[in-house]
Amino acid sequence: MKKIIAAIDARHFTEGELESFYYIAREISGAVTVVLLENVAALGTSLANVYTDAYTLDYNKIAMEARKHYETERKESVEKFNRICINNNLDFRLHETTGDPVEEIIKESRFADLLLVSNTTSFAVLRDSNPPEFVKDVLARAQCPVMVLPEKMHPIKELVFAYNGSFSSVYAIRQLTQLFNSFSDAFVNVVYVAENDNQDIPYEKLLREYLELHYEDVRFTVLNGNPAAELLALLLHRQNCLVTYGAYGRSKLSRFFHRSDAESILRTVNVPVFITHP
């Protein structure tokens, strides 16, 4: 059995989010540990903003109110989580944390086979980027494969393997293949974007031999143009698929796309994105 960890914002999570985690858990035959995260420092900041006169701030009072507010919301979040699990027969473990959200989930990822996170999970006090900084930090630093899930999850019937001949792209394909045995009957589409007008897919014979041992229906698609733009166009109107990418936010040697290109994919498409790095 595989160990899956799923990151949720204690203050903003939904029933659909938990059901998406459970769907992936069924496909991987894994046990899910949900990590309840909260930006505790932001609570104090938001309460401090209530007091408009900086010269009369009672910091002890603010700290006490923040702690009380935090404990109340934490209790309500746990009750909501347990209620959703009971009503939907979701068998999850729960880890409650109080530290920095990114640091806590990175620590947990060292001891997991897969990390799940929704593409909207954010701990920003004010406005955040798209995708949120939390998601980008997790992708760059996670110590296990990461799957970023859309707001609405659809059954996965197609696997889109983004491939450019690099070890990074093959590593992501192999990691997903080893984790998800249940996808053996899914349609596999290996997408290669021709570079320098070279239509020959690197190591096509070796890759085909490997994939045909694991999947029933494997096809190769060759596109032309900018890799990120072409893959974005291919995925734009798809729903029942999952896409893999190589390393995110690491060295240029291991990175499949530039970080900004990967973020464009995450921001625009409405399918699960599987990203890992060697």
- Mean pLDDT per 10-residue interval, the chain, length 278 residues: 94 92 94 88 52 55 70 88 95 90 95 95 67 88 95 93 91 96 96 82 96 97 87 89 79 50 78 89
pLDDT at 199: 82
* Tokens encoding 167: 């070890």
Cα 56 versus chain centre, distance: 43
pLDDT at 225: 85
**Same topology for domains 2-149 and 158-275, yes or no?**
yes
pLDDT at 149: 95
Sheet holding 114-118, edge to edge: 92-96, 30-37, 2-9, 114-118, 146-149, 273-275, 241-245, 158-163, 187-194, 217-224
pTM: 0.87
Its CATH architecture, for the domain 158-275, is: 3-Layer(aba) Sandwich (3.40)
Instruction: Tell me phi and psi for residue 242, to 5 degrees.
Output: -130, 140
Q: Which CATH superfamily is domain 2-149 in?
A: HUPs (3.40.50.620)
pLDDT at 98: 80
Sort residue 213 into left (φ over 0), alpha (ψ -120 to 50) or beta. Answer: alpha
pLDDT at 83: 96
Domain boundaries, the chain: 2-149, 158-275
pLDDT at 249: 52
